[in-house]
Amino acid sequence: MVHLWVRAEERENERRVGLVPEGVEALLERGFRVTVEESPDRILPLEPYRAAGAEIAPRGSWREAPVEALIYGLKELPEDGTALPHRHIMFGHAYKGQRAGQELLRRFKAGGGALYDLEYLTEESGRRVAAFGYWAGFVGAAVTLKAWAAAQNGNVCPEVHEWEEQSDLVEEIRDDLQGLSTPRALIVGALGRVGTGAGDMCEEVGINPTRWDMAETASGGPFPEILAHELFFNCVLAGPQTPVFVPKEALGAERALAAVGDIACDPTSDFNPIPVYDEATIWDEPVHRVADDPVLDVMAIDNLPSLLPKESSEDFAAQMLPHLLRLDEIDKGVWGRGATVFKEHTA
């Protein structure tokens, strides 16, 4: 019997979840067993999970779960160096040369477990089956606009907190931009989920962004057009073929560019396309100010959808459920491809 164990997230400022109570009901009807950990932070309350038929376990007890259980979470595990004997479904951030990711793979090898990285669960075409991308783009553009507005008023972007509703977020950004001239914005990766979200947010506040995708970046750069826009949103996942969009030389160059939203946010990757910074930002300090004259701020929060946790959780859970219902065929299809990627990187 498939046993899916939904762990509590242990990362600060993480309230999202990848399974909603209706999904529990569907999995139980399939004949699966579902355990949900208690969590004081999860955006959805525990009782509906219990009412749907899930077994309830203490927060963090996945460590003692039956070894055959599939541990399902979203963000990283605590970096405590322990061996990992279970199969985990999560965002591992382990396949692009990230330092913490290499240690994570070592822990799996030590324990005999396996990683089904959510970023690498794909259809045969290579398209990801589930992603938070749209909400990352929408919120990332919003926070970058907030940062740009703050800089125009001689300030640095203040700390950010969750918004209860999408409409609350849009209203706040409109207020931030009140009285300022409309900035020019350029989105790279505009045709994808992330770029679509960023573009929709821009349009909500009256900005018609320049939209680039693969055709416009095929030359490999340099891209002076980026420096000619006040705002730049990177919505492209880093990889060996990703060009550099904002090189270090841009800090001293003549430019209009004043705020970068690195929504894809992979600063520790060997393929970081915005090498003017090397560390993600946090809710308390949403930007790195990488230049002062003229100002250039980089927004690089790596859990942006958590700022709209309810909408993003419900959307992601709906995308994932059809594939969770196929966990009894874990050696095939989406899951089989995910296992192959893990084996290739731990060979």
- Rounded Cα–Cα distance for residues 256 and 181 (Å): 13
Identify whether 322 is preceded by a cis peptide bond (ω within 30 of 0): no
- Measure the CA–CA gap between 292 and 294, rounded to whole angstroms: 5
CB 264 within 8 A of CB 238: yes
Distance CA 113, CA 224 (A): 46
Rounded to the nearest 10 degrees, how much is the dihedral formed by the CA atoms of 306, 125, 265, 137? -50
Helix H segments across the chain? 21-29, 47-52, 99-111, 133-152, 166-177, 193-204, 214-217, 224-227, 309-324, 333-346
Over the Cα atoms of the chain, what is R_g?
Answer: 21
CA distance 49 to 57: 12
- Cα–Cα distance measured from residue 5 to residue 237, given in angstroms and rounded to the nearest whole number: 29
Classify residue 15 as left (phi > 0), alpha (psi -120 to 50) or beta.
alpha
**32, 62 contact by CB (below 8 A):** no
Angle at 272 between CA 12 and CA 143, to 5 degrees: 50
Q: Which residues pair with 186 in a beta bridge?
A: 210, 232
Q: From the candidates 88, 93, 323, 345, which is the catalytic residue? A: 93
Is there a catalytic annotation at residue 345? no
93 part of the active site: yes
Contacts of residue 228, Cβ cutoff 8 Å, sequence gap at least 6: 184, 255, 256, 257
Q: Give, as one character, the DSSP assignment of residue 281.
A: B
Point out the residues that are catalytic.
Answer: 75, 93
